[in-house]
């Protein structure tokens, strides 16, 4: 069986189950290209797999991610009789420490917004109001950066206060209700930008009316962080990223629920659905424990333990 043909067959199989992500498909197709267009799956050698897993740089978490994609693919191949043995490594190195996202404080977010308002540089291609609105949307609705830049005017219901998110990471669409503070921000932005609502008109645009690119947002965000003095001091490889606003949204939401005395275990699946996750375990990645969140969770446990002692 041709390797690349089997890869496409497997991708179609997993998509049919409604559970396959685009990143996994890209990894498998990259594996097929690395082995060669005419290669048969039965001829793939362990050393070829090792080269693909290693890549060109130092061993990182990517090595383990690639292996996690190849394992079920080869289980599929074995179960259908395309191969008898699996050329995957049996000695697995220790996983590197997981990357810890940066959780912005409320004061840091306010500083970033103030810096946007004060930013009058003419060489950038974004209006300050556009950058400000994007930041508020990423933090206020917990969107992925790609979801924000892919929004069309027709996807933003300013009257009902609902976003239609398409082309998501997991290949599913979802509706995202806007909070009472965020909806007026988008209404004001749309009014300032003007124009008629056309199906494929981008909601967020550059000064020239083109759809904003992720790299453009990232570049401007790094500049803002530098101007606002928002930097990591924990020695992490990456400085605060736009995507960390999504992490901050989730952590701040959880902290707020703890403070309100809400049943977090009941509400957690709702947060997962709001973020567009297929499984609740994906949401756990965003719930990074901060000292503030630990304090609120600890207080909740103390109140619970106190009641239990009282009933003993």
Q: Is 40 a catalytic residue?
A: no
The maximal CA–CA distance of the chain, rounded, in angstroms, is 71
Among candidate residues 10, 102, 189, 286, the one labeled active-site is: 286
pLDDT of residue 298: 60
Catalytic: 277?
yes
pLDDT at 133: 96
Catalytic: 246? yes
Please, which contacts does 21-27 make with residues 24 or more away whose CB atoms are closer than 8 Å? 21/169, 21/170, 21/171, 22/169, 22/171, 23/169, 24/69, 27/65, 27/66, 27/69
Tens of pLDDT, residue by residue, the chain (312 residues): 999 999 999 999 998 887 766 788 999 999 999 999 899 999 999 999 999 998 876 667 789 999 999 999 999 999 999 999 999 998 888 877 777 889 999 999 999 999 998 865 544 678 899 999 999 999 999 999 999 999 999 999 999 999 999 877 666 789 999 999 999 999 999 998 875 556 678 999 998 889 999 999 999 999 999 999 999 988 777 899 999 999 999 999 988 888 888 888 888 889 998 998 877 777 777 666 566 666 665 665 555 445 544 444
Find the helix packing angle between 291-311 and 244-260, rounded to 10°: 30
What is the distance between the alpha carbons of residues 129 and 134, in angstroms, rounded to a whole number?
A: 9
Confirm whether 169 is a catalytic residue. Answer: yes
b/e string for 289-304 if b means 16 or more Cβ within 10 A?
ebeebeebeeebeeee
- Contacts of residue 160, defined as CB under 8 A and 6 or more positions apart, other chains included, come to none
What are the structural domain ranges in the chain?
3-79, 106-228, 244-311
> Would you state the pLDDT for residue 43?
93
Residue 248: closest CA among 97, 98, 108: 108
pTM of the model: 0.71
Residue of 169, 211, 214, 222 marked active site:
169
- 95 catalytic residue (yes or no): no
Nearest to 207 by CA among 303, 115, 297, 127: 127
211 is catalytic: no
Based on its alpha-carbon atoms, the radius of gyration of the chain, rounded to whole angstroms, reads 23
Of the residues 111, 132, 243, 253, only one is catalytic, namely: 243
CATH code given to domain 106-228: 1.10.443.10
Predicted local distance difference test score (pLDDT) of residue 95: 78
Q: How far is CA 143 from the centre of its chain?
A: 8
């Amino acid at each position: 069986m041709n390797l690349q043909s089997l890869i496409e067959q497997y991708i179609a199989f997993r998509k049919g189950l409604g559970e396959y992500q685009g990143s996994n498909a890209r990894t498998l197709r990259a594996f097929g290209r690395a082995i060669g267009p005419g290669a048969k799956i039965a001829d793939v050698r362990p050393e070829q797999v090792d080269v693909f897993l290693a890549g060109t740089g130092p061993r990182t978490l990517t090595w383990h991610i690639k292996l996690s994609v190849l394992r079920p693919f080869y289980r599929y191949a074995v179960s259908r009789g395309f191969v008898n043995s699996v050329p995957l490594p049996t000695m697995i190195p220790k996983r590197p420490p997981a990357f810890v996202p940066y959780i912005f404080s409320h004061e840091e977010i306010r500083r970033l917004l103030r810096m946007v308002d004060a930013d009058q540089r003419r060489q950038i291609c974004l209006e300050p109001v556009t950058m400000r609105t994007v930041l508020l949307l990423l933090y206020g609705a917990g969107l992925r950066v790609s979801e924000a830049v892919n929004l069309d005017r027709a996807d933003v219901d300013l009257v009902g206060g609902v976003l239609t998110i398409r082309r998501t990471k997991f290949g599913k669409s979802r509706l995202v209700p806007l909070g009472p503070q965020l909806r007026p921000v988008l209404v004001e932005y749309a009014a300032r930008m003007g124009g008629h609502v056309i199906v494929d008109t981008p909601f967020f645009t550059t000064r020239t009316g083109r759809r904003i690119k992720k790299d453009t947002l990232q570049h401007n965000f790094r500049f803002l962080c530098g101007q606002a003095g928002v930097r990591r001091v924990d020695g992490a490889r990456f400085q605060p990223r736009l995507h960390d606003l999504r992490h901050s949204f989730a952590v701040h939401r959880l902290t707020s629920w703890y403070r309100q005395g809400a049943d977090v275990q009941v509400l957690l699946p709702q947060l997962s659905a709001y973020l567009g996750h297929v499984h609740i375990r994906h949401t756990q990645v965003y719930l990074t424990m901060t000292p503030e969140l630990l304090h609120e969770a600890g207080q909740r446990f103390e109140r619970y333990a106190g009641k239990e002692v009282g009933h003993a």
